[in-house]
């Protein structure tokens, strides 16, 4: 849709309207789905996670880079699922298991790595709530699923605060 003066007037008036079309969401979902299919075809889903689930071998910098790409696909998929209501393309269960190992790894050097690790952990918490309600679209969560979700989020927050305290004490 071309930009018009009416669009500007709507923005200035403080009113926000729902998009007139879901074309962009469906396009993003299709393109992301294609990227995930190619990643699966190349074995990225397995090769990115395996080095962080096995404690016998130290992951290389290449392993860390692959996991960053996989986590980017995972978080984009879940963000799109939550905003558009379209199904997620990736089952996050194995990725979440590797998140804590990645988050505490010495090769995790980029500032965004800790944020991405947190996002993957949040994806896991939301995914468990969706599965427990039987609605993997997250559109019809039951009250008990939402209570469990809130409880899990509170536990995750306490855990992260404890880690942050440990990190601060370590550097003092």
- Residue 36 confidence (pLDDT): 93
Region for residue 58 given its phi and psi (left: phi exceeds 0; alpha: psi -120 to 50; beta: otherwise) = beta
Confidence of residue 170 (pLDDT cuts 50, 70, 90): very low
9 occurs within a structural domain: no
Asked if the structure places residue 142 within a domain, the reply is yes
148 or 171, which is more confident: 148
Domains of the chain: total:
1
106-126 pLDDT, tens per residue? 766 677 888 888 899 999 998
Question: What pLDDT, on a 0 to 100 scale, did the predictor assign at position 4?
Answer: 54
Task: Note the pTM of the prediction, 2 decimals.
Answer: 0.73
120 inside domain: yes
Q: How far is the C-alpha of 40 from the C-alpha of 129, rounded, in Å?
A: 25
> Could you tell me the residue range of the domain that residue 70 belongs to?
22-171
Mean pLDDT of 57-82: 89
**Residue 2, in any domain of the structure:** no
Does residue 30 form part of some domain? yes
69 found inside a domain? yes
């Amino acid at each position: 849709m071309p930009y018009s003066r009416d669009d500007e007037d709507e923005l200035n008036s403080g009113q926000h309207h729902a998009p007139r079309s879901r074309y962009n969401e469906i396009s993003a979902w299709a393109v992301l789905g294609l990227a995930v299919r190619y990643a699966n075809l190349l074995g990225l889903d397995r090769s990115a996670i395996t080095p962080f689930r096995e404690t016998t071998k130290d992951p290389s910098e290449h392993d860390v880079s692959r996991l960053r790409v996989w986590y980017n696909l995972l978080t984009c998929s879940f963000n799109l699922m939550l905003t558009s209501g379209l199904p997620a393309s990736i089952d996050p269960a194995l990725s979440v298991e590797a998140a804590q190992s990645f988050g505490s790894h010495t090769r995790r050097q980029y500032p965004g790595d800790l944020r991405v690790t947190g996002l993957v952990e949040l994806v896991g918490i939301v995914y468990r709530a969706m599965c427990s309600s039987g609605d993997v679209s997250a559109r019809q969560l039951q009250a008990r699923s939402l209570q469990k979700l809130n409880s899990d989020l509170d536990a995750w927050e306490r855990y992260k605060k404890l880690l942050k305290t440990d990190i601060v004490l370590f550097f003092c």
